[in-house]
Amino acid sequence: GAPAQVVAISRGPTITQFGVEPLFLESRGGVRTRVRVSKIASLADDLALALAAPRIRIQAPVPGHSYVGIEVPNDEMSRVALRDILEGEVFKNFRKPLAFALGRDVAGLPSIASIESMPHLLIAGTTGSGKSVCVNSILTCMLLYHTPDDLRVVLVDPKRVELTGYNGVPHLLGPVVVEMERVIGALQWITREMDKRYHLFAQAGSRNIVDYNAKMKLQGQKKLPFLMIVIDELADLMMIAPEETERTITRLAQLARATGIHMILATQRPSVDVVTGLIKANFPARIAFAVASNTDSRVILDQPGAERLLGRGDMLYQSPDAPAPVRLQGVFVSDGEIHKLVDYWRDQAGNTNPYVAAGGAPRETIPDNVPLKQAPLWEETKKINGDPLFDDAVAIVRKEGKGSVSMLQRRLRIGYTRASRLMDTMEDKKIVGPPEGATQMRQVLDYGDVPPPQGGESK
């Protein structure tokens, strides 16, 4: 057995934490030894069986205390309303910029964080764990307390259902990006914006955006807004262009903080090919919702535990300056509340499409309910909406006189999906013909300036 005594009880919205202090075992020789913490931690499944609990998590030990925390699910989960925390004294007295409400801890106390001090956030969790609600609650806090002059946002939503409802909000630099081919263009635009801001800081002799804005205010000039990028599904982006995505995100994560640019990445597949070592190293702040296995938990938090969470907003939050993750029940914001907030900002945004260029000539219209000031980023992503390897792929098939998906996979070292998309694009542009026979080889129709080869590579 493992003798112990309960020395503390903390009841939160989702779980009750029992603080258990290990007692001593006395051997036949009269030697007293304290029960090892690892012994108590190994009894999680036995305790769950004895208490008829679905899952039990043991925190051994609880940081700052001399006891082990045994977290038992409550019979009923209490909802943590976003409004209750925002109207509380803790949030009102929180002075850091870009603040948002995370939830309540195991003692029921509110937890507040700031994107500015993180400076980037990584969120992971399976379907139904509360990941998307968390992203929406962060955006809601930002829209509630910041004007478009203070904060601008870029949203990426390949699933087309989570963030598209924010279209028309004046904080957006462009319409919500739903086509994965345009995401790289948006990230490259943000990288150039970062470099531009560093150039402005150098001219003004400023170290960061706060210092720069303070000087601009004294001179009566316009300040720079903070810029936040939210990518709702990182896995889709890593599947299409892994090298370009990792390189761009890593560079932004390493350099963008001083310029006031911050990122939030969310994924429901926290595997090592999605959350790579380079990406994870530059995202010290992480939130793990319920995941499928302790392997996924280790990828996101570098330790197990998230596989024992209960879902529906139950999370582990790893702060950049905390020794261990903290268990919280995330805040909840309803669709109705989000719609009211979005409608308010849309009313403030003014006119929408169609818009006209400065020279008076009509340009391609952007989606409905999108303010005119969002045109620049939309145009930028339109310019860079193709695969960066497209020109290389065209050069390969023209040189060989024919092409196939497997040929592009070998030559460009890419996956089947991306290679197939490149071939389809070339067919749409009449560069190659349709696939022929069992080999699915395509003949080149348009050689451009390249002379037809004497012989080609076989599949």
Going from the C-alpha of 457 to that of each of 187, 208, 414, 441, the distances in angstroms are 36, 54, 18, 10
Task: Give me the domains of the chain, ranges plus CATH numbers.
Answer: 4-73 (3.30.980.40), 82-383 (3.40.50.300), 390-443 (1.10.10.10)
User: According to the model, what pLDDT value does residue 153 have?
Assistant: 94
Residue pLDDT, tens place only, 59-109:
888 888 888 999 999 988 889 999 999 999 999 999 888 999 999 998 889
C-alpha span between 213 and 219 (Å, rounded)? 10
CB 132 within 8 A of CB 140: no
Considering the entire predicted model, what is its pTM?
Answer: 0.75
Residue pLDDT, tens place only, 339-348:
999 999 988 8
Contacts within 8 Å (CB) and 24+ apart, 436-441: 439/404, 440/404, 440/405, 441/402, 441/403, 441/404
Residue pLDDT, tens place only, 408-458:
988 888 877 678 788 888 888 889 998 887 677 899 998 887 778 765 444
C-alpha span between 136 and 444 (Å, rounded)? 48
User: According to the model, what pLDDT value does residue 391 have?
Assistant: 87
Task: Determine which helix (DSSP H) or strand (DSSP E) holds 410, and give its type and residue range.
Answer: helix 405-412
Kindly state the average pLDDT of the residues 235-253: 87
C-alpha span between 390 and 402 (Å, rounded)? 15
User: According to the model, what pLDDT value does residue 455 have?
Assistant: 54
Angle at 424 between CA 422 and CA 425, to 5 degrees: 65
C-alpha span between 57 and 62 (Å, rounded)? 12
Above 50 in pLDDT, residue 131?
yes
**Encoding tokens for residue 103?**
């939830």
Round the average pLDDT of the chain to a whole number and report it. Answer: 84
User: According to the model, what pLDDT value does residue 383 have?
Assistant: 45
User: According to the model, what pLDDT value does residue 347 have?
Assistant: 87
Banded pLDDT at 201 (limits 50, 70, 90):
very high
Residue pLDDT, tens place only, 355-368:
222 223 223 334 44
Residue pLDDT, tens place only, 377-387:
545 554 444 67
User: How many helices and strands, by DSSP H and E, does the chain display?
Assistant: 16, 17
Above 70 in pLDDT, residue 222?
yes
**Encoding tokens for residue 43?**
């009894």
191 against 378, higher pLDDT: 191
CA atoms within 13 A on the CB side of 367: 13
Kindly state the average pLDDT of the residues 273-292: 92
DSSP 129: S
3-state secondary structure of 68: strand
User: According to the model, what pLDDT value does residue 386 have?
Assistant: 62
CB 123 within 8 A of CB 135: yes
User: According to the model, what pLDDT value does residue 110 have?
Assistant: 94
Kindly state the average pLDDT of the residues 370-391: 57
User: According to the model, what pLDDT value does residue 350 have?
Assistant: 65
Residue pLDDT, tens place only, 29-57:
777 888 888 888 888 888 889 888 888 88
Share of the chain above pLDDT 90, in %: 40
CB 110 within 8 A of CB 329: no
Of the listed ranges 56-65, 169-178, 255-264, 349-358, the one predicted with least confidence: 349-358
